[in-house]
Amino acid sequence: MTTTSDTFPARIRGTVLREGDDGYDAARRVWNGEIDRRPALIVRVAGPDDVATALAHARETGLDVTVRGGGHDFGGAAVADGALLIDLGALRTIEVDAGRRTARVGGGATWAELDAATQEHGLATPGGTVSDTGVGGLTLGGGFGWLTPRHGLTIDNLVSAEVVTADGRVLRASETEHPDLFWALRGGGGNFGVVTEFEFRLHPVGPLVELGMFFWGLDDAPAALRFAREVLADLPDGTGAMLAGLTAPPAPFVPAEHHGAPGVALVVAGFDGPERHAEVVTRIRAGLPARFELVTPIPYTELQKLLDGGAPRGLLAYEKSLYLDELTDDVLDVVAAHLPGKSSPLSLMPVFPVRGAFSAVPDEATAFGGARRDGFVFGIATVAPTPELHAADRAWTRAFWSALTPFAANVGGYVNFMAEYEEDRVRASYGAEKYARLRRIKAAYDPGNVFHHNANIPPTGT
């Protein structure tokens, strides 16, 4: 078996890049600037047939395979040294059927593109909190966002998927076609094939939604964290929310004296109009006055971009996560103790409450790595402009995470929030029964573990 990549089948409709070609360096870069890897080939596919051709070429030449949708995950799974990178970036077509409230979305599209297309019809599906995240990677790992308490995870709204399997078959997976594969795709990550098209269920949303953002300084953090816990426990059904430890940005809505101030933020997103949202805002204002706030109607597409400014491409990044059932006093004490330790102004602690429609889905209904009960997705993210700040905050992230693990419901955490794909954490995320079922399905569709550059699930028998 040779590893040469000098030739590639001429029948491909897309393009092939090698080191030295124009566009190669741009094509190999991903969101996380720490990732600097050089694939042997980058195949920019034009459709599922090109994917099948690329996979066949990889088998014939012995090349490893990676798959790139948006290239936005912290671990840089989209690219590996000496591998064949299947780049879905040209597959960005989005077709919205407003009557049926569905959308067909190419595997290379971003959430900004999907949100823009669906909002033309006053529709949306849950997904993401940073708009240039790829639809594919986020969906396959589960996918939560501001709409999750109202409409569940992204995978709960997946109707079907077009998948190219490791042996080159092009399949349509749904509840009625290849249902085992469809189950695995809904949370099992990129382990089971290359998804070239997703079909989503849509819901009426916007175009304007209600935003409330409240910021307290670090000296108020112990009280602010406990107050935010009370607010989150009593939010109206369907309200989106995030509790964050972050640094106040130099944004127009932030008073100049608070630019660069570290602290705690509570963000609430209302979808039932200004009157109901006003009740939440009034309670927050009366309960613990904030250093500053932003309360305003906002286009749904802009809500989806709310965190974009803190996640520009090219910065150095690292992340860990876990699941918590409750924000106990012990947990909040750990948070208050560790928040002052971060060095980079862009590093943050995003905590997303999951409840409502999320918890209404049975655990066994999808392959999602995490229990379907009310709780919190707790992330700790290093985002830094320099290697020195990155090293300092990576140590901070790890220490913070370790201090929280005694209180975790699941130390595996959310697979989309992994920068390191430790086998024990992947297994812990899914749990023994679900992990075993995923391994059996993996053996049926990818027995050779071709798709292993991810939160990998090895096939049964390996």
One-character DSSP codes across 201-238: E-EE--SEEEEEEEEEEGGGHHHHHHHHHHHHHTPPTT
The token pair at 316 is 């150095």
Mean pLDDT of the chain: 95
Q: Tens digits of per-residue pLDDT, 210-235?
A: 999 999 999 999 999 999 999 999 99
Length of the chain: 462
SS3 349: strand
SS3 410: strand
- Name the band, by pLDDT with cuts 50, 70 and 90, for residue 2: very low
Are 115 and 141 within 8 A, CB to CB? no
Q: Tens digits of per-residue pLDDT, 259-301?
A: 999 999 999 999 999 999 999 999 999 999 999 999 999 999 9
- Name the percent of the chain lying above pLDDT 70: 98
For residue 419, give the nearest of 374, 379, 451 by alpha carbon: 379
Question: What is the spatial distance between Cα 245 and Cα 235, in angstroms, rounded to a whole number?
Answer: 20
Give the CA-trace dihedral at 376, 380, 383, 387, to 10 degrees. -170
Evaluate if residue 335 carries a pLDDT over 50.
yes
Question: What is the spatial distance between Cα 76 and Cα 79, in angstroms, rounded to a whole number?
Answer: 6
218-228 burial, b at 16+ Cβ within 10 Å, e below that, comes to bebbbebbebb
Ordered DSSP codes for 7-40: ---TT-SSEEE-TTSTTHHHHH--SSTT-----S
Give the distance, in angstroms, between the CA of residue 300 and the centroid of all CA atoms in the same chain. Answer: 18
Strand order in the sheet with 262-270: 292-299, 208-217, 262-270, 240-247, 349-354, 375-384, 316-324
Q: Which DSSP state fits 199? A: E
Q: Tens digits of per-residue pLDDT, 93-131?
A: 999 999 999 999 999 999 999 999 999 999 999 998 999
Give the distance, in angstroms, between the CA of residue 164 and the centroid of all CA atoms in the same chain. Answer: 22
Give the CA-trace dihedral at 280, 338, 400, 388, to 10 degrees. 120
For residue 332, give the nearest of 227, 447, 203 by alpha carbon: 227
Give the CA-trace dihedral at 115, 120, 125, 128, to 10 degrees. 20
Question: What is the spatial distance between Cα 427 and Cα 435, in angstroms, rounded to a whole number?
Answer: 6
Q: Tens digits of per-residue pLDDT, 21-35?
A: 999 999 999 999 999
Report the chain's terminal Cα–Cα distance, integer Å: 22
Query: Given this model, what pLDDT does residue 3 score?
Result: 39
Q: How far is CA 188 from CA 23, 182, 290, 422, 454, in A?
A: 32, 10, 40, 15, 10
- List, in order of start, the domains of the chain with CATH numbers: 15-87 (3.30.43.10), 94-205 (3.30.465.10)
Q: Per-residue pLDDT averaged across 191-218, rounded? A: 97
Q: Per-residue pLDDT averaged across 332-337, rounded? A: 98
Query: Given this model, what pLDDT does residue 341 score?
Result: 97
SS3 270: strand
- Name the band, by pLDDT with cuts 50, 70 and 90, for residue 6: low
Ordered DSSP codes for 113-170: HHHHHHHTTTEE---BSSTTSBHHHHHHH---BTTHHHH--GGGGEEEEEEE-TTS-E
Query: Given this model, what pLDDT does residue 189 score?
Result: 95
Query: Given this model, what pLDDT does residue 422 score?
Result: 87
For residue 79, give the nearest of 111, 33, 113 by alpha carbon: 33
Evaluate if residue 1 carries a pLDDT over 70.
no
Query: Given this model, what pLDDT does residue 449 score?
Result: 97
Evaluate if residue 413 carries a pLDDT over 70.
yes
For residue 79, give the nearest of 137, 131, 146 by alpha carbon: 137
SS3 392: helix
Question: What is the spatial distance between Cα 4 and Cα 173, in angstroms, rounded to a whole number?
Answer: 34
Question: What is the spatial distance between Cα 219 and Cα 95, in angstroms, rounded to a whole number?
Answer: 49
Q: Tens digits of per-residue pLDDT, 358-395?
A: 999 999 999 999 999 999 999 999 999 999 999 999 99
Q: Per-residue pLDDT averaged across 134-138, rounded? A: 96
Evaluate if residue 5 carries a pLDDT over 50.
no
Q: Per-residue pLDDT averaged across 27-45, rounded? A: 96
Query: Given this model, what pLDDT does residue 8 score?
Result: 74
